[in-house]
Amino acid sequence: MYDWGETLINLEKFYSTFFPEDFDRKLFASTKDEIEWGLKETYKSFLKFAEISGQGWWITAEDMIVLVQRHFNAY
């Protein structure tokens, strides 16, 4: 089971470091289309980052949906 608070912090660090120009648009989307777009792009970015960095960690699409839902519910 993931520590969602820690995962969210790491996700925010990841975006602010590697994709600063997209950070607000991906994590703080307000419409359904923006949220769906953000989920897809976030998932693709995680896969690419894991592949390039060799970190070996994995996050599923379902995990990402829960993560983003928790993020929106926090505000």
Q: What is the pLDDT of residues 11-41, one digit of tens each?
A: 666 666 665 666 555 555 555 666 666 667 7
Q: What angle do CA 59, 65, 27 make, to 5 degrees?
A: 95
Domain that holds residue 66: 4-73
- Do 41 and 26 contact (CB within 8 A), yes or no? yes
- Do 67 and 45 contact (CB within 8 A), yes or no? no
Domain count, the chain: 1
Phi, psi of 42 (to 5 degrees): -65, -45
**What is the residue whose two structure tokens read 């660090």?**
13
Whether 55 shows a pLDDT value over 50: the answer reads yes
List for the chain the helix, strand, coil content (%; round to 5): 75, 0, 25
